[in-house]
Structure formats: structure tokens, C-alpha cells
Amino acid sequence: MNRLIEYMLPPAKSTIAGETDALFYFINVTSFILLFGITVAIIYFAWKYKRKSEDDVTPVISHNNKLEITWSVIPLILVIIVFGWGYNTYMKKITPPSDAYEIRVVGKSWLWEFHYANGNVSVNELHVPVNRPVKLIMSSDDVIHSLYIPDFRVKMDVLPNRYTQLWFEATEVGESIIYCTEYCGTAHSNMLATTFVHTQEDFETWLETSAGDGEDMEPAERGEMLVQRNACMTCHSDDGTRLVGPTFQGAWGSDVPLESGETVVYDENYVRESILEPGAKIHEGFQNVMPSYAGTLDDRQIDAIIEYIKTLQ
């Protein structure tokens, strides 16, 4: 039975997961029992009342009150049970505890940004403490996304121009994957992130130590780290492969044909503008889908990324 459960659902790693799974199994087991019972009844009656001779005539039956009440009341009771159970679980999912730790979430094509109370920002990595409620306050910078953490059994749409929220309480230390479950464009399937669940002590340590982003590293090395951290490689390759955006390899110093018909040089000014105002100059043959990193990357970080791109010749 445990193997069947593991096959049907991912591990349950939050306080609400057990209730969600119980309702799921109730619906499935009840449906299987009804299917089995109806199938057996059909086979039995087909055999019992099969025509035995040419003189057999089916009697006219107008109705059967007991039978009609039975097959109406039983489904009604089951629907009421499922509705009440589901509503109760849903209300728990949308009502976070007052002491929940709040994290701002920003969805953009095609990455997740997580903003913490002390000013830290992580990209595609959600860090949370174990055995403590966590409330995610979410919005989108562009189109509709949807944040889904299967292990926690929580999912909510992330919308532009408004806030949505969800909460969970992780019950074990470890990692869980985050999906975007609302189609949001070409690289939708690559919009993945990871939830890292820490002990409270390790979480506090992470908050204290993650504020730095490689200021002591060589500029090009720091730039490579920032490119990876900010999921730039989702759309821009470093080996010449054509993805959603133009490749970084061999781009530095080249002439860039624009959709407007103009040509610009791939230099510091072009890279900086493309990061902060990606819609200002669109590379010919590519769509205007890159989100702005204004407010996410500062001048020194942009400088480091520029130095890294210079090395990809």
C-alpha cells in the first residue's frame, strides 16, 4: 500500500499535505468502490435477465421509489462530504497563521525572485525554516504564472498588478522542487526553482551569510556566478546554442542587428541597457520577452556580468 501511495503522489512534507492526500484517497477509493459495484451489477443483471426464449417479454416498469431515492441520496451524501472536506482544507490553505514568516515572491519570464525581510534576494532558490509557518506574498512582473510546490501540496496563481498569497509549514529538512504551472511563454518548462528547508539555526545563518554576492571575487568570476544565480542561462547560452535570447558566446564587440533596422555595437552600454530596459533595443530575430532587472542588479553587479561576457570569445 505504501508503494502505491508513493507511486501516486510525491512525498508529503508539509502540515497541510496529509489532509490534502486524505481527501484525494477518499475520492479515489470511493470512485473505485462505485465503479466495481456498478460493473458487477451490470454483469449480474445482464446474465440474470438475459432473454431465454422468443416468448420472453420485458415487463413495463414505470419507476421504483426506493431505488430512485437510493441512487439520488448516496451521491448527494458523497458530494456533501467531499465539498465540506475540501472547503475546510481550502480555508486552512488560504488562512496563514499570524506569526508566519513573510517572503515576497516575484515571478517573471522565466525565473522566480524571493525577497526576504532583511533585504536578501535569491533567484530560483526559496530558503525557509522547518516547523515554522511561511507566508508567500506573490506578484508577477509580466504575465500570469503559477507557483506550485508538489511536496507541500500548495499552488497559487501569480498575477500582474495584484498580490496573491499562499502559506505552508515544512515538516522536514531537505529540498523540494518548485514549478510554474501556468503556461507563460517559450521557456515555461524551464521556470523551475528549488525550496531549501533548513533548521531554524541554519536558516538564520543563511540569512546572515547570503547577503554577500561575491564582492571579493574576480569581476569575471563574480559575473559568471551572477549569471547563473539570476537564471540568465535559461535564455542565453554560453556555447553558441540558440535559445530564447541571443547567445553570449562571441557576442562582445560584434554588430547587433535590431528589429528597427538599425545596428548597434555589443558593448558596455548595450549590455547595461539590455539588462535594465530590455525592450529598448530588440535583437533581430528574437522576441521582446526579457524581464527588466532594474532593482535586482546594481551597477557593480552589471559591471561584473559585462566582464564575464567579455571572456566568452
Q: Torsion-angle region of residue 198: left (phi > 0), alpha (psi -120 to 50) or beta?
A: beta
Per the DSSP assignment, residues forming a β-bridge with 14 are 170
Q: What pLDDT sits at residue 33?
A: 93
- Range with lowest mean pLDDT among 12-26, 226-240, 241-255: 226-240
Pairing of strands 164-168, 134-140: antiparallel
Task: Please compute the mean of the pLDDT values over residues 137-158 and round it to a whole number.
Answer: 93
Query: Domain spans of the chain?
Result: 2-42+65-93, 101-209, 219-310
Q: What pLDDT sits at residue 5?
A: 55
Give me the percent of the chain exceeding a pLDDT of 70.
96
Per the DSSP assignment, residues forming a β-bridge with 113 are 106, 123
Q: Is the pLDDT of residue 13 over 90?
A: yes
Q: Which residues contact 185 (CB under 8 A, 6 or more apart)?
A: 109, 110, 143, 289
Q: Is the pLDDT of residue 3 over 60?
A: no
Residues 89-119: pLDDT tens digits?
A: 999 888 899 899 999 999 988 889 898 988 7
Q: What pLDDT sits at residue 212?
A: 59
Q: Domain 219-310 belongs to what architecture? A: Orthogonal Bundle (1.10)
Q: What pLDDT sits at residue 128?
A: 95
Q: Does domain 101-209 have CATH number 2.60.40.420?
A: yes
Band (pLDDT 50/70/90 cuts) for residue 67 is confident
Residues 178-221: pLDDT tens digits?
A: 999 999 888 888 899 999 999 999 999 988 887 556 667 788 88
231: amino acid identity, one letter? A
CA 166 remoteness from chain centre: 12
Instruction: Enter the pTM of the model.
Output: 0.72
Count Cβ atoms within 10 A of the Cβ of residue 36 and give its class: 0-12 exposed, 13-18 middle, 19 or more buried. Answer: exposed
Residues 167-180: pLDDT tens digits?
A: 999 999 999 999 99
Q: Is the pLDDT of residue 134 over 60?
A: yes
Residues 17-48: pLDDT tens digits?
A: 999 999 999 999 999 999 999 999 999 988 88
